[in-house]
Amino acid sequence: MNSDQNVIQLVKQAQLGHRDCMSRLSEMARGRLRTYIFRVTLDDELTSDLVQETLLQMVKSLNGLQKPESFWSWLYRIAMNKIQQYYRQLVSRKTQPASVFTGDILGEQAGHSGLEGVRKLERKELSHNVITAMEKLKQRDRAVISLRCFDEMSFSEIAAVMDCSEINARLRFFRAKAALKRQFARFGIGRSSLLLALGLFGKLTAAGEAAATQGAVSAATVKVGVGTVLACYVGTKLGIVITSAIIFAAAVAGTAVMLKEDAPGLKREKVASFHYTLQSRNNNPGAVASLSKGAYEQWFYFPEGIDGPMFRRMQRWTPDQKGKLCTWLQNEEGNYYYHSGERQVYINNYHLWQSSMRTMQLPSDPPEFVQFLNQVEGVVEGVQHRRDRNGLLAETIDRRFADASNYHTEYSYNTLEESFFDYIWSMDIPINDERDEMHRRGWTYYEISGEVNGQSITGGGIVPFTCKTAREHPACIHLHVGDEWYYVDTQQGAYVCRAEGDCVARYASGAFMKGWMRPWMGLHAVDIVRRDATEEHMQFETILSDEGDFAEIIIHDHHSDIRLRYSVDMEKDRIDWIQMESLVKERAGGIIQFHYCDDIRSLQEELMEPPTPEGTAAISVLENDGIRWISQLSAIQK
């Protein structure tokens, strides 16, 4: 679907506050939404309600649309969310009989569409059969057929609407078309009549005057390509036969064949967001182990790149995804929890962690990272993962749950915008701010004390708690070990210096943040530390206190013969101390303690961001050792 320059201009003007342009844009959108939603739901009253809800959401969220040229796919995505939300919240829905639908609504639609040719072809019977066949399809299948055949969207645009990858959009259309052919066949509509039947459906379901132009379906729009067809059969006997035949034929012809997606696969460094839904095991006392406690739909967004800060939104559903339960939101301003039973929002100090206490894994984590983490914590039995050619998680099949058997998860990438993570609850929902003073402020100073090998450790730093405050108060560290060594890490870089000022080593900014708490990154401190250890292939174990308020992480650094013990306050989302235990007699070990400042008014001058050491420009930047820099402190002697 080509972008309309007039629409782009209307979007830009509406974003600037021109009410007339917003009104014109809304009217232009109303007709297309009416047709699209009706084709997906086949429910006239529901369509009217959803069109209105979608338009209201469009007006509220238009300023968050960063690319005006993607207006239609963005708007259809909102409509798709409204449709999915409706069906999920519907506990039980009886399908309206096709005869009633055809006789009432369909008859009205056809009455003003001027279909003289259809009347000559026994319109009622044929129309009844076409509509009944479409009713038998899943709602998602009708959606992808409508987007491809009638709105003539490209597969990349469909991917944006349906919140999936482009190859999955192709696969969904292929499967939807196959399902439609099967349904048509039941009513005597052969494969050769597919375009005719789709054209009839398009005309009968178009809104008003649009019916005259909505019936033609081109042959090109119903094609998906051989690569997609093969992807549907990978791993099956038929797939092996087809694939072997194509490769053999190409070899005979002297042609090289590569079985891959039409477009290059997404590389990890290009990932900006992902979305997926997983079932979670019911660990409540007395619960049957094979029951799910709910389907957790999750959205992640990385405003500064895949290795930068992370926004997160999570919706808990009943296992069948029909009942909506609690909601979590972590954006640039705070951590929110919506209690569905109390209908109240809570703002917390802490970021989310796994109730199972397993380390948080992301679909974008490299395979070798995941492999080591699974070696440490164990592989979850009954769960099968598949990755794409670039190592990104593509799909998961979970066979653990009796009430959600063979649960299939698809991972979609780069379909979200930052506005999706705005505060989402209405103003009449009560808000309970349970943060302490420093978390309300969004950042604080901290002091460091301790000792290693008999030498004192002193210093301090700044820690922001949110992505927003990190821009105004960036994290920094200054650390003195004894009278000789000085460590500093700021936005300008990380340095190791002697007390007299000579810089002996230079690293990239953030080198000494490894193994430190980094709440502005969007993960809980317990996950930050364990993921830092995993990056360096350091074995660890996690022990949660009986009350669940503290966790101890024990990390084994066999390279340095050091064992690091972390004490993490789970509610405050912070590290309280790090103990270094030497496994050899030559080293005595030590401890680093953190003291966080609730009231910072008397400390602002004392704990300013440390200056960059002089004479560092000529020093080459070294590759840092990650979390190991902490265990290496124990090697410092008097």
CATH 3.40.50 fits 438-635, yes or no: no
Task: Say what the pLDDT of residue 112 is.
Answer: 47
Question: What distance lies between CA 99 and its chain's CA centroid?
Answer: 42
Domain regions of the chain by residue span: 5-223, 226-261, 268-435, 438-635
Q: Rounded to two decimals, what is the model's pTM?
A: 0.62
Please give the average per-residue pLDDT across 88-92, as a whole number: 58
What does the alpha-carbon distance between residue 574 and residue 631 come to, in Å, rounded to a whole number? 19
Which of the residue ranges 43-47, 297-301, 378-382 would you say has the lowest mean pLDDT? 43-47
pLDDT of residue 1: 42
For residue 301, pLDDT over 70 is answered with: yes
Side chain identity at residue 394, one-letter code? A
pLDDT given at position 609: 65
Most confident segment among 442-456, 515-529, 546-560, 598-612 = 515-529
Q: Strand 562-569 to strand 550-557: parallel, antiparallel, or no bridges (unpaired)?
A: antiparallel
Q: How confident is the model at residue 231 (pLDDT cuts 50, 70, 90)?
A: very low
Please state which of the ranges 71-80, 108-117, 253-262 shows the lowest mean pLDDT: 253-262
Which of 4-8, 189-193, 404-408, 451-455 shows the lowest per-residue confidence on average (mean pLDDT)? 189-193
Residue 192 neighbours by CB under 8 Å, 6+ apart: none
**pLDDT digits over 305-326, tens only?**
999 999 999 999 999 888 899 9
Whether residue 145 has pLDDT greater than 80: yes
Q: Tokens 């009886």 correspond to what residue?
A: 94
Spatial distance between the Cα atoms of 330 and 334, rounded to a whole number of angstroms: 6
Structure confidence at residue 175 (pLDDT) = 85
Q: pLDDT tens digits, residue range 13-70?
A: 998 888 888 988 998 889 889 999 999 998 888 898 899 999 988 988 888 888 888 8
Contacts of 394 (CB under 8 A, 6+ apart): 165, 386, 387, 388, 410, 411
The mean pLDDT value of the chain amounts to 83
What backbone phi and psi angles, to 5 degrees, belong to 448?
A: -120, 135
Residue that wins the pLDDT comparison between 118 and 133: 133
Structure tokens at 293: 């406690």
CA distances from 460 to 288, 597, 608 (A): 49, 11, 9
The reported pLDDT for the residue numbered 124 is 65
CATH number (3.30.2310, 3.30.460, 3.30.70, 2.50.20) of 268-435 reads 2.50.20
* Bridge partner residues of 448 (DSSP): 459, 594
Residue 284 reports pLDDT greater than 90: no
Looking at residue 220, what is its pLDDT? Answer: 62
Question: What per-residue confidence (pLDDT) applies to 503?
Answer: 87
> What residues contact residue 2 under an 8 Å CB cut-off, 6+ apart?
none
SS3 content of the chain, % helix, strand, coil (to 5): 40, 25, 35
Please give the DSSP secondary-structure letter assigned to residue 426: -
Residue 44 · residue 109 · CB < 8 Å: no
The pLDDT of 476-498, averaged and rounded, is 91
The one-letter code for the residue type at 232 is C
Q: What is the DSSP letter of 615?
A: T
Check pLDDT > 80 for residue 612.
no
Is it the case that residue 214 has pLDDT exceeding 70?
no
Provide the token pair at 314. 């999570």
Which residue reads 């900014």 in tokens?
509
Q: Which amino acid is at 238?
A: L
Asked whether the predicted pLDDT for residue 95 surpasses 80, the reply is: no
268-435 and 438-635: same fold?
A: yes
Amino acid letter, residue 151: D
pLDDT given at position 438 = 95
Average pLDDT over residues 510-515: 96
Q: Confidence band (pLDDT; 50, 70, 90) for 587?
A: low
Q: Strand, helix or coil at 160?
A: helix
Confidence of residue 263 (pLDDT cuts 50, 70, 90): very low
* Comparison of pLDDT for 186 and 296, the residue scoring more: 296
Strand pairing partners for 339?
A: 344
pLDDT surpassing 70 at residue 399: yes
Residue 266: its pLDDT value, please? Answer: 86
pLDDT of 581 strictly over 70:
yes
Percent of the chain with pLDDT over 70: 81
> In terms of pLDDT, which residue wins out, 186 or 556?
556
Considering 180-184, 213-217, 359-363, the range whose residues carry the highest mean pLDDT is 359-363
Reported confidence tier of residue 90, pLDDT bands at 50, 70, 90: low
Confidence class of residue 98 from pLDDT cuts 50, 70 and 90? Answer: very low
Q: Is the CB of residue 95 less than 8 Å from the CB of residue 43?
A: no
Percent of the chain with pLDDT over 90: 45
Nearest-10 crossing angle of helices 19-41, 44-61: 140
Q: In 166-187, which positions are buried (b, 16+ CB within 10 angstroms) versus exposed (e)?
A: bbbbbbbbbbbbebbeebbeee
Nearest Cα to 107, choosing from 118, 95, 94? 118
